[in-house]
Homo-oligomer: A and B are copies of this chain.
Amino acid sequence: MRPGRYNALIDVAGLRVGHHTAIGLGFLTGTTVILAPDDGMVAGVDVRGGGPATRETDLLGPTASVERVHAIVLSGGSAFGTSAGSGVADHLAARKVGLRVGPHPDAVVPLVPGASLFDLGRGGSYTARPDAGFGAAALAAAIADVDAGEPRSGAAQGNVGAGTGAVAAGLKAGIGTASVVLPGGATVAALAAVNAAGSPLDPRTGSLLGEPWLLPGDAPDTPVPDDATRARLITITTPDVTGFDFNSSDEPTRPDLPTNTTLVVVATDATLTKVQCTKMAAVAQNGMARALNPVHTMDDGDIVFGVATARGPVPDPVAYRQITVEAANAVSRAIVRAMLAASSVSTPAGQWPSWTDVARGAL
């Protein structure tokens, strides 16, 4: 098995991805839109964290009637970030994309589930947070990306979109994505906005926990830390990070509550039912468990959306099982790739070094 062309969610036929990134003037946050084909994508969800911030997720339940949604929005901004979805819905409606509910051209309801992660205050201001305009901008990026031919936004990783303000146990984290083409021809992919209370590191070695599930080509040019650097990585990711070189500041550096959340979308071009998408999402949570520890606590909103663009064949039970297994692996891979792609950040609220910068001795 090998990654798809871009090793990204956009390898799934029909999907587009756009990021809106806000850095500076108190901002360190953003929004990511996963845009379906105009006729929608089949979708399910698995919410496993104890503190979710979501919109329009109930319609993804197995007993809810809607089969297809038109976009999924991941955002920073905690509960405020759900506003980004409103911007996406309004702009899709203006383009006449959505569930048709009548003959009038305006009679469309775009269905835009979404979830948000906690990054409030990390840019220096608690009020510099995503709004509906963030969703509209990320949607515009997704649309422009396709028009441009070679994707610019769609394959981006690191400090972009919903991952802009994301951190994981003291390290800068962000957006990661990965894909795989199965022997039967189906593509399976994941996109993760990694913002975990848990650590992405093996506490014995400082290596990234998800490494065992990487495919060739997933992590080119990854530095190999020496023993002293490994020890430093392990120290950074302990709960008490005061040993690290934070700037002093009157602004809040981190909230009183542990406040995290890893947001994931797994996708395939196979023809799955809504219930199969839901199950795929549930199985894919295992990919989070393998790359982060702890996960799914009462203090995060860990969530996986599962989507199918249904451009390929209906899988038999064996092929379906493989799709779910590779979806979980793609999540682990996407989390590793998010950590590798993240860039160190310094704001009035604090400093968050990236794994790569620490591992290669640059910080």
Contact = CB atoms under 8 A, between A and B. Distances in A.
Interface of A: 47, 49-59, 61, 63-66, 78-80, 82-83, 85-86, 89-90, 93, 99-104, 106-112, 118, 120-121, 125-127, 131-132, 251-252, 254-257, 259, 298-299, 301, 303
A59 B55 contact: no
A248 to B, nearest CB: 15
Given A57-B58, A299-B65, A109 B80 contact: yes
A131 B110 CA distance: 15
A51 B65 CA distance: 5
Nearest to A47: B58
A75 to B, nearest CB: 12
Contact of A50 (B65, B109, B298): B65
Contacts of A53: 56, 59
Given A79-B56, A82-B86, A90-B80, A256 B51 contact: no
A259 B65 contact: no
A204 B100 CA distance: 35
B109 A79 contact: yes
A124 to B, nearest CB: 10
Given A82-B86, A89-B80, A299-B65, A103 B57 contact: no
How many protomers of this protein does the assembly include? 2
A89 B100 contact: no
A58 to B, nearest CB: 4
B51 A103 contact: no
A79 B111 contact: yes
Contacts of A103: 252, 256
Contact of A51 (B59, B90, B252): B59
B125 A106 contact: yes
A62 to B, nearest CB: 10
Given A78-B109, A79-B111, 13 more contacts: A51-B65, A52-B58, A56-B82, A64-B298, A80-B86, A80-B90, A101-B255, A101-B256, A101-B259, A102-B121, A102-B254, A107-B120, A109-B120
A65 to B, nearest CB: 4
Contact of A104 (B51, B100, B126): B126
A74 to B, nearest CB: 15
Contacts of A78: 101, 109
A307 B93 CA distance: 34
A303 B57 CA distance: 14
A256 B102 contact: yes
20 contacts: A50-B64, A51-B66, A52-B58, A52-B64, A54-B56, A54-B57, A54-B59, A55-B56, A55-B82, A58-B301, A65-B299, A79-B109, A80-B109, A83-B83, A83-B132, A86-B132, A93-B127, A100-B256, A101-B259, A103-B256
Nearest to A106: B126
Nearest to A118: B101
Contact of A255 (B54, B83, B107, B251): B107
A54 B51 contact: no
A80 B101 contact: no
